[in-house]
Amino acid sequence: SEQLFVEMADRMVAEGWRDAGYEFICIDDCWMAPTRDKQGRLQADPKRFPSGIRKLADYVHSKGLKLGIYSDVGNKTCAGFPGSYNHYDLDAQTFASWGVDLLKFDGCNSDSLELLAEGYRLMSLALNKTGRSIVYSCEWPFYLRPMQQPNYTEIKQYCNHWRNFYDVYDSWSSIKSILDWTALHQDSIVKIAGPGGWNDPDMAMIGNFGLSWDQSVTQMAMWAIMAAPLFMSNDLRHISPEAKWLLQNKEVIAINQDPLGKQGYQLAKDKHFQLWERPLSGQAYAVAVLNHQEIGGPQKFTFPLTFLGNGLACNPACFVRQVLPASRDWGVYSWISSLSVEVNPTGTVLLKV
């Protein structure tokens, strides 16, 4: 309901979320009335959004925040509300007139892959035609993938970020499957990511109930490595101080939002460990060591620093700082040294080199 979004906007300002860089409040599926109005326009559910979306957008903007909304490329949304098929221009104009700043465009109920692709292209053009700056979040490659290999060059031409894989759930198995899928497909997806267009592994579940502390650290660290758009799916009225500390951690957010905009990748796998790196601006690297083991205690992983940055990250020497699970300086290492990292089961140690 609009009341919920108003409360979230208030929380985002009062509790430092906006200042940490979280600026969008996004409405997902089910906000609409079951039918369009007499002019064929989408309308908000009159009971849950009695003041309308324009009023809500004005309120969100008055707080220095932006409003996101949801629609679908097909005849109906995933939950069965009116989709945008055959209404792309009208819906884009409607969203712009309401002051919307982001559109999440789902891919349910499209009759063919051709219509799906055409719909994503048409909505992109329609949004640009409004003259309003609206972030365009797509699910195009996810709906293509079972049948054909997505053309990421084309997708980036039309979309600002795009989902490749199933919805995230509030569980470790979900986070793990997203990371496994990303590592498996990194050769085709990592190179396309950069300013203007990003792979979207879906939302942060931190602050809910399904992830342990170590698993929450893993999601935050790995989403930073993957240059993921950082959206939270949680209730800011009921969030622990620890989860808030993690989600607002300035050093991790700085890695996530690094201006070079390169996505990280998996460098090596060894037994239960994975080693990932992400090139950062200023000749730095973010490095993540992830322990996949789900039982037992903390374990050590040792690797030569020549692994990093094609051997260049520490040549002739480098400064290593641990960012997660807690920040501390590790000091200066020479090119020929090795790094030994102790990692909890299902946990991750995030370093900046």
Q: Is 106 a catalytic residue?
A: yes
User: What integer pLDDT is reported at residue 146 of this predicted model?
Assistant: 83
- Give residue-wise pLDDT tens across range 135-160: 999 999 999 988 899 999 999 999 99
Q: What is the mean pLDDT of the chain?
A: 97
Distance, CA of 113 to CA of 136 (rounded, Å): 19
- Give residue-wise pLDDT tens across range 257-297: 999 999 999 999 998 999 999 999 999 999 999 999 999 99
Helix 53-62 / helix 2-14 crossing angle, nearest 10 deg: 10
In which residue are the tokens 């949801």 written? 70
Catalytic-role residue among 19, 111, 167, 270: 167
φ/ψ of 24, rounded to 5, equals -105, 140
Does the pLDDT of residue 182 top 90, yes or no? yes
- Delimit the domains of the chain by residue range: 2-257, 265-352
Sign of the alpha-carbon dihedral angle for 116, 122, 128, 131: negative
What is the pTM for the complete model shown? 0.97
Q: Is 28 a catalytic residue?
A: no
The reply to whether CATH 3.30.300.30 applies to domain 2-257 is no
User: What integer pLDDT is reported at residue 316 of this predicted model?
Assistant: 94
265-352 CATH? 2.60.40.1180
- Give residue-wise pLDDT tens across range 225-268: 999 999 999 999 999 999 999 999 999 999 999 999 999 999 99
Q: Which long-range contacts (CB under 8 A, 24 or more apart) does 53-59 make?
A: 53/27, 53/98, 53/100, 54/97, 54/98, 54/99, 55/2, 56/2, 56/5, 56/6, 57/98, 57/99, 57/100, 57/101, 58/99, 59/6, 59/9
Average pLDDT over residues 100-104: 98
Catalytic-role residue among 72, 91, 106, 258: 106
Determine what percent of the chain is predicted with pLDDT higher than 70.
100
Average pLDDT over residues 323-338: 96
Q: Which amino acid is at 298?
A: P
Q: Nearest-CA neighbor of 197 among 145, 241, 160?
A: 160
Residues in the chain, overall count: 353
Average pLDDT over residues 107-128: 97
Does the pLDDT of residue 130 top 90, yes or no? yes
266 CA to centre of own chain: 18
